[in-house]
Amino acid sequence: MATDSRIHFWKRNTKVPGSLQPVYGAQHPPLDPRIPRAFLKDTPKSNSTQNVKSKKASSFLEFARSTNDAWDIDDEEDEDLLMGAAPPAPVPHSRPTVPTFLPTQPDSDSESHPSDTLGPLRSEPCHDQQMSDDRSTNGRVVRSNSEAQLNTSSVRSSLQKQQSLPVRPIVPLVARISDQNSSGAPPMTIREKTRLDKFRQLLASPNTDLEELRTHSWSGIPREVRPITWRLLSGYLPANMERREQVLQRKRDEYFGFIEQYYHSRTDEHHRDTYRQIHIDIPRTNPLIPLFQQALVQEVFERILFIWAIRHPASGYVQGINDLVTPFFVVFLSEFVEEDVENFEMSGLSLDTQRNIEADSFWCMSKLLDGIQDNYTFAQPGIQIKVKALEELVSRIDEDIHNHFQKCEVEYLQFAFRWMNNLLMRELPLRCTIRLWDTYQAESEGFSHFHQYVCAAFLIKWRKEILSMLDFQGLLMLLQNLPTIHWGNEEVGLLLAEAYRLKYMFADAPNHYRR
């Protein structure tokens, strides 16, 4: 009987603009009219009209508060469209619950699926509430105070909504490339200006002192001089200033000679599988950063990786090498972009500049991989050795963590393989990787040896969280999704300091802390 009265009520009020609609998204899945709704319970009406009104007004306010945060970001645009497309009809004794957000159901829908228009409220409370709160003036519905409060609270600024719903920022924090600390402090301080002057003095000398340059680079390289410093520390540029331009031109011409000689063979049967794998992996490289989703940039990466692969047949292309191009590419691009590198349009640069960035990225990546190529040869023995060394090191540094892994049956290879294969690039934002590589290039064996101590310090950093996970699945999920989204230069500096301490204590003392 209650169902019949509910159906007839909504048939008589099909034009009510405030008809409740199911709210999709947020925490509420779409409602299926074929599934009986256990939460729609009929309750006997009270004899006291005053008690019923006060009780139902309270229920409505509770409902308004509980659904106030479920609206989408672009509701203001939807509101304008709905108000222009479906003006409310002059219906007396009707309460428009949320008229600015939800459209009016057509007659056919109301008749065929009357339960769809009910939403999470019963029809009887809506009717009683209409009798108590609505005011009608010359056929026009006047909004009540409770509705005005709801609309006022729901119309918020775009900034507030983006803060409350952080799923739609244009570039998320994890994808921001610019140097910054988590505290939001400006990267250029008086100390940084002094360091920048020192770097410029070193780089301007006729023969750059590479040892002194490494010493100053260990604690971070200023953004303004990072490109030339990386070229020097990687061994791509000579220390002698007079020879630099000549060497640069020769190496760039040599790279594009490789392109002309080999790149057309990407469709040959012998190289087809290699090129296909590269072509698949490139779009997956930093998918949150718009810069790397540009077709022009992806073509650059394809050429760099394909040429490197066919010139190094012992390893060829291995998944993960594609990530190692990005720091070099971003650093050399930053010479021509002041800020907002992640959104920069590569097509805005001249063709010569694009070619120079591509060639420099290729040669510096090649220099890096020369020191860790055994990570990518058959069966990847270099990674196997480094993961085993990490396990031994952690067992000496923090026996509790080591025993906890054994208790939960977690193998180091299950999480540390990616740390070695991608040099922590999947664990840290790109801005942190760039800062980390400042130090790696300042170390004599930064990528091959010091990285092991950075991984150990990185693991110990999450000691509390690791020991709180008591099962295999939870522990592995934590280790594969560590919360570093807010990290900046400050956190990376602390991590490197701890890694240096571990290296100083354990590198030349293989039996230190061994039981």
Same domain, 386 and 499: yes
Using the predicted structure, report yes or no on whether residue 75 has a pLDDT greater than 90.
no
Q: How many domains does the chain have?
A: 3
Residues 445 and 469 in one domain: yes
- Residue 24 or residue 222, greater confidence: 222
* Residue 496: inside a domain: yes
pLDDT for 508 equals 72
For residue 478, pLDDT over 70 is answered with yes
Phi then psi for residue 98, to 5 deg, are: -135, 70
pTM of the predicted structure, to 2 decimals: 0.66
**Does some domain include residue 367?**
no
Q: State the DSSP code for 449.
A: I
Note whether 228 and 314 are same-domain residues: no
Say yes or no: 352 and 388 in one domain: no
The 10s digit of each residue's pLDDT in 45-60 is: 444 444 444 444 444 5
236: domain CATH number is: 1.10.10.750
pLDDT at 8 (0 to 100): 53
CATH of the domain at 397: 1.10.472.80
Residues 392 and 491 in one domain: yes
Is residue 156 domain-resident?
no
Q: How far apart are CA 64 and CA 68, in angstroms?
A: 6
What the block records as the tokens of 329 is: 């590419």
Q: Are residues 262 and 228 both part of a single domain?
A: no
Whether the pLDDT of residue 410 is over 60: the answer is: yes
pLDDT tens across 266-306, in order?
A: 999 899 999 999 999 999 998 889 999 999 999 999 999 99
Closest CA to 430 of 362, 389, 370, 488: 488
Using a 10 angstrom Cβ sphere, with 0-12 exposed, 13-18 middle and 19 or more buried, the burial of residue 296 is: exposed
Q: What is the pLDDT of residue 173?
A: 57
Band (513; pLDDT cuts 50, 70, 90): low
Q: Within this chain, do residues 288 and 327 fall inside the same structural domain, yes or no?
A: yes
Question: 451-461 vs 381-397: helix axis angle to the nearest 10?
Answer: 50
Residues 412 and 328 in one domain: no
Is 84 inside a domain boundary?
no
* 144 occurs within a structural domain: no
Mean pLDDT of 123-147: 43
| Predicted pLDDT of residue 6 | 52
Let me know whether 349 and 333 are in one domain.
yes
pLDDT of residue 142: 43
User: pLDDT digit string (tens) for 367-385?
Assistant: 999 999 999 999 999 999 9
233/406 Cα distance (integer angstroms): 40
Lowest mean pLDDT among 21-35, 210-224, 295-309: 21-35
Q: Are 109 and 116 in contact (CB under 8 A)?
A: yes
Q: What is the pLDDT of residue 353?
A: 96
Strand pairing category for 140-142 and 135-137: antiparallel
Q: Could you tell me if 45 and 52 are in contact, meaning their C-beta atoms sit under 8 angstroms apart?
A: yes
CA 432 to CA 438: how far, in whole Å? 10
At residue 357, does pLDDT exceed 90?
Answer: yes
| Same domain as 349, residue 287 | yes
Residue 334 pLDDT grade (very low, low, confident, very high; cuts 50, 70, 90): very high
User: Looking at 216, 241, 266, which one is the last position of a domain?
Assistant: 241
C-alpha span between 246 and 358 (Å, rounded): 18
What confidence score (pLDDT) does residue 182 get?
39
DSSP 294-323: SHHHHHHHHHHHHHHHHH-TTT---TTGGG
The angle at the Cα of 143, spanning 138 to 147, to the nearest 5 degrees, equals: 165
> Position of tokens 């950075």?
454
Tell whether 330 and 427 lie within a shared domain. no
Q: Which of 98-102, 200-204, 252-256 has the weakest average pLDDT?
A: 98-102
**DSSP 3-state helix, strand, coil percentages of the chain (rounded to 5)?**
60, 0, 35
Residue 340: pLDDT over 90:
no
Residue 171 lies in a domain: no
> Is 314 a member of any domain?
yes
Q: What is the pLDDT of residue 506?
A: 87
Residue 122 lies in a domain: no
Alpha-carbon distance 368 to 226, whole Å? 16
- Residue 464, domain extent: 381-507
